[in-house]
Amino acid sequence: MKPPAARAHRDMILEVANLTMRFGGLTAVDRVSFTALRGEITALIGPNGAGKTTLFNCITGFYRPSEGAIRLHRPGALPVDLHRLAGYRIARSGVARTFQNIRLFPGMTALENLLVAQHNTLMAASGWAVGAVLGLSRYPAAERAAIEVARRWLLATHLLDRADDPAGALPYGAQRRLEIARAMCSSPGGPALLCLDEPAAGLNPRESEELARLLLEIRADGTSILLIEHDMGVVMKISDRVVVLDHGRRIADAAPAAVRSDPKVIAAYLGEEGEEE
């Protein structure tokens, strides 16, 4: 693990600066700053309603932040100001995400879900649909390649035998895994940053274990991860760094072991302030 001093600029994948998100009178995210390093798993934890999902929604372009900046640093490329981009462009610049309440395409098969994720690649290969309708020869090869990618991720998530089942009919744990597989398919060669919103929610201990292993594999493949999670077992085991939010504010940002013993964090989780909205 790198000491804080070594958190150099060139190692950053995501930089969140002074991010604020207000809904009417409610400040869901309040001047939050942190950085996530490339090749690391950065966990984002905090009690219910702390603003974690809202932060994700700002990063992935579903909400436009009231103030502050979000910057994506990809190796060999200029930094991208995510807070200025439309949602679908953020995804195209290499940020993938999953949702707290699973959002698959329930009436489409697992395989189709993963092909939709590769839409932009396939669309280009199909000559923006016109070519492929007229029988462009490049398209079938591109589709075969896309199916190969999908097959790889189905295998990695133990879903290969369910490839032709509708996503909506899969068991809960399988749906969670499929959503991760889909996010991983969304950029050619895998996304630069994967944002997971409570991927272990509703999983049994064995499934959580498997999930942790999957995330470590993904990290090893070169995708940095931003992880919202309530399951402290998973968080402590796999994250490299933990950012803690409470009432929209960042109250801690440290290595897992340090966070665990931080009195402010303990207080936040026990709700000592007592003044709930």
Contact call for residue 98 and ligand ATP (CB under 6 A): no
Among 82, 56, 86, 88, smallest CA distance to 68 is for: 82
| Site residues (CB under 8 A) for another protein, limited to 164-183 | 164-166, 168-169, 182-183
DSSP-based three-state secondary structure for 273? coil
- Residue 45 partner contact from another protein, ligand ATP, Mg ion, none using kind-dependent CB cut-offs of 5 to 8 Å: none
The answer to whether 48 contacts ligand ATP (rule: CB under 6 A) is yes
Binding residue for Mg ion, selected from 42, 53, 113, 126, defined by CB under 5 A: 53
Give me 44's structure tokens: 């984002």
97: β partners: 195
Residues 100 and 53: beta-carbon distance below 8 Å: yes
How many CA atoms does the CB half-sphere of 149 hold within 13 Å? 26
User: Which run of H or of E encompasses 196?
Assistant: strand 193-197
Is residue 241 involved in binding another protein (CB under 8 A)? no
Per-residue binder mask for another protein (CB under 8 A), 126-145, x = binder:
x-xx--xx-----x---x--
Site for ligand ATP in 180-209 (CB under 6 A): none
Between 115 and 259, name the residue whose CB sits nearer to ligand ATP. 259
The nearer residue to another protein, 67 or 165, going by C-beta atoms, is 165
Q: Is 60 left (phi over 0), alpha (psi -120 to 50) or beta?
A: alpha
Asked if 163 interacts with another protein (CB under 8 A), we say yes
Nearest distance from C-beta of residue 181 to another protein, angstroms: 12
Contact 216, 184 (CB under 8 A): no
Question: Please, are residues 6 and 224 in contact by the beta-carbon 8 Å criterion?
Answer: no
# residues contacting Mg ion (CB under 5 A): 2
In angstroms, rounded to a whole number, what is the distance separating the alpha carbons of residues 158 and 101?
21
Q: Is residue 54 a contact residue for ligand ATP (CB under 6 A)?
A: yes
Q: How far is the CB of 69 from Mg ion (least distance, A)?
A: 22
Distance CA 177, CA 200 (A): 10
**Measured from the CB atom, is 165 or 262 closer to another protein?**
165
CA distances from 138 to 63, 117, 198, 242 (A): 38, 19, 39, 45
Name which of another protein, ligand ATP, Mg ion, none residue 66 binds, using a CB cut-off of 5 to 8 Å depending on partner kind.
none
Residues in the chain, total:
277
**Applying CB under 8 A, does 116 fall inside the site for another protein?**
yes
Stretch that binds ligand ATP, among 31-39, 43-51, 181-189, 211-219 (CB under 6 A): 43-51
Residue 177's φ and ψ, nearest 5 degrees, are -65, -40
Residues that bind Mg ion (CB under 5 A): 53, 100
Residues that bind another protein (CB under 8 A): 23, 53, 57, 60-62, 87-92, 96-97, 99, 103-109, 111-112, 115-120, 122-123, 126, 128-129, 132-133, 139, 143, 147, 151, 160, 163-166, 168-169, 182-183, 186-187
